[in-house]
Amino acid sequence: MRPFAYVRAADVAGAVQAVADEPGARFLGGGTNLVDLMRAGIEEPATLIDITRLPLTEVEELPDGGLRVGALVRNSGLAAHPLIRSRYPMVSQALLSGASPQLRNMATVGGNLLQRTRCLYFYDTAAACSKRDPGTGCDATGGFNRNHAVFGAEAGGCVATHPSDLCVALAACDAVVEVESVRGTRRVPLGELHLLPGATPHVETALAPDELITAVELPAAPMLARSRYRKVRDRSSYAFALVSVAAALDVRDGRVADVRLALGGVAAKPWRAVRAESALKGEEATAEAFQRAAEAELAEATPLPHNSFKIDLARRTVVATLGRLLADGGAR
């Protein structure tokens, strides 16, 4: 690990000023991803700005019934929060399906949003990886790519997937991310936070280097109380998703009045299934309709040599998750 300077921030204003003043500085929260990357020589910040003492650890109820989650709320605490469990169960389920209890106790909400891919070629510094070393190419496209993207990747470009379970659920919730810098505060819809790789796979988010995530807001939406997160993986714990589905369903008089769907494990960002949502709204809530909607979404998928199974797996997981929601009381 290369030497680095260390600064402990006393407040948000001091944290964003410190990172603005120090080229190459990074914010340090739980450190569950950043520190590992520093040990591997992939991240080499000149300065770490410790933000763990900042007052960003509360879950607050908003006047309209939504929730404001501080960026330093621990993943384990958010998963167990009674208002999250009752109003946004897929958020709690997503958090509990990620990592291990020890890591969830350390990891923060803000850090979860910014964690980097777990692509094996990204971690192998001997491999070509334009995400790690811009312009070098992508060995995953011609290598073992079973865990890689089927959406949003250009031919010959980066095919890494985003690893977060929480972000998939937040995308389905239409969450909004609050960020702070010396220029002030701005709000970024979760669906616009993460970027597809294109020609700049190393640019992973819409945030400037000096912007600090301070909170995530979950909008009030009664249908989100009837939601589920389903994760399919190679083993039952401490494994990243092959495919995951975050879903909420509102059925009235036998027809789909509203639906939220997001997929994980299939793209460089949480993949909002807008084609499937559009295909379902107004349709009868049946397994056949769920399957047609999934097929409409997956028609644009582009598999790699080793991951074509993800298309059928995603279709089955969407249908099963919506079917479970319907059986559990998605209809009124």
pLDDT tens-digit series, residues 88-134: 999 999 999 999 999 999 999 999 999 999 999 999 999 999 999 99
Whether residue 287 is contained in a domain is answered as yes
Question: How crowded is the C-beta side of 118, counted as CA atoms within 13 Å?
Answer: 15
pLDDT tier for residue 1 given thresholds of 50, 70 and 90: confident
Domain span including residue 294 = 224-330
pLDDT tier for residue 180 given thresholds of 50, 70 and 90: very high
CATH number at residue 296: 3.30.390.50
Whether residue 215 is contained in a domain is answered as no
Residues in Cβ contact with 123 at an 8 Å cutoff, skipping those fewer than 6 apart: 40, 42
Mean pLDDT, rounded, for 30-42: 96
Kind and range of the H or E run holding 322: helix 309-325
Kind and range of the H or E run holding 47: strand 47-50
Whether residue 116 is contained in a domain is answered as no
The percentage of the chain sitting over the pLDDT mark of 70, rounded to a whole number, equals 99
**Strand-strand pairing, 243-252 and 255-264:** antiparallel
Whether residue 157 is contained in a domain is answered as no
Whether residue 64 is contained in a domain is answered as no
pLDDT at 156: 86
pLDDT at 330: 55
pLDDT tens-digit series, residues 262-321: 999 999 999 999 999 999 999 999 999 999 999 999 999 999 999 999 999 999 999 999
Provide the token pair at 95: 């958090």
Residues in Cβ contact with 3 at an 8 Å cutoff, skipping those fewer than 6 apart: none
pLDDT tens-digit series, residues 58-78: 999 999 999 999 999 999 999
Q: pTM of the entire structure? A: 0.97
Whether residue 168 is contained in a domain is answered as no
Look at residue 154 and tell me whether its pLDDT is greater than 90.
Answer: no
Average confidence score pLDDT of the chain: 96
CATH number at residue 18: 3.30.43.10
pLDDT at 271: 98
Report the C-alpha gap between 152 and 149 in whole angstroms. Answer: 7
Whether residue 139 is contained in a domain is answered as no
The residue whose two tokens read 């020890």 is: 102
Report the 10 Å Cβ neighbour count for 237: 10
Q: Domain total for the chain?
A: 2
Mean pLDDT, rounded, for 198-212: 97
Look at residue 331 and tell me whether its pLDDT is greater than 60.
Answer: no
Whether residue 235 is contained in a domain is answered as yes
Look at residue 155 and tell me whether its pLDDT is greater than 90.
Answer: no
Provide the token pair at 49: 């700005």
pLDDT at 237: 87
